[in-house]
Amino acid sequence: MPQNNHNNTKAMLSKKVEEAINAQINAEIWSAYLYLSMSAYCHSIGQPGMANWFQVQFHEEQDHAKILFNYVNSRGGRVILKAIDAVPTEWGNILEVFENTLAHEQKVTALINNLYDIATQEKDFASQSKLQWFIDEQVEEEESAQTIIDNLRMIKDNGYGLYMLDKELGARTYKQASPLASSED
């Protein structure tokens, strides 16, 4: 029984994988929104470099959503966009922001692992291959948040240290995610 009315010979996504990837697109957009909110908070406490770091993060999360969006379409699936939940807007201090970032990325890692698991159960090898990039990306995401947390804990209330870290994070630049670099998106 065909999954939908598309009349092509492409190996289509199963409904289960399609729904799980759609949910992940929503989670990636929510992540983008969360980091934009964190960027606003950093501006509000006079940390423009950290605000920049979160802006880059905001762009990267949109890339993650786009990779999945393109992938669903390339497999003859249907992207369905749902509402984006509200995000937090206030944190107690800058350390809390990065601790929240790490905790969030750990949650995303669990979501990606679950998605991979579904693709495996469905014997969907192409989706497993596509998700491999996300699995590797999550290692980097968690590591970079952890490094900044370590730095902030070391600095504590040292104003000069905070100034230097803000400068360093201000130098971060956005680079399009490699799976998108070869496409027109």
With beta carbons less than 8 A apart as the criterion, state whether 148 and 169 touch.
yes
| Cβ partners under 8 Å of residue 78, min gap 6 | 4, 18, 72
Which of 18, 99, 141, 166 touches ligand FEO by CB under 6 A? 141
Q: How far is the CB of 153 from ligand FEO (least distance, A)?
A: 22
Q: Which is nearer to ligand FEO, 158 or 183 (CB)?
A: 183
d(CA 122, CA 15) in angstroms, rounded, equals 10
Smallest gap from Cβ 11 to ligand FEO, in A, equals 26
Q: Can residue 130 be called a binding residue for ligand FEO (CB under 6 A)?
A: no
Rank residues 94 and 131 by Cβ distance to ligand FEO and give the closer one.
131
How far apart, in whole angstroms, are the C-alpha atoms of residue 149 and residue 139? 16
Nearer to ligand FEO, 115 or 119 (CB): 115
Q: Is 99 in the site for ligand FEO (CB under 6 A)?
A: no
Q: Residue 114 carries which DSSP code?
A: H
Alpha-helix residue ranges (DSSP H) falling in 45-124: 48-74, 94-121
**Residues of the shown chain interacting with ligand FEO in the complex, contacts defined by CB under 6 A:** 28, 31, 61, 64, 105, 108, 141
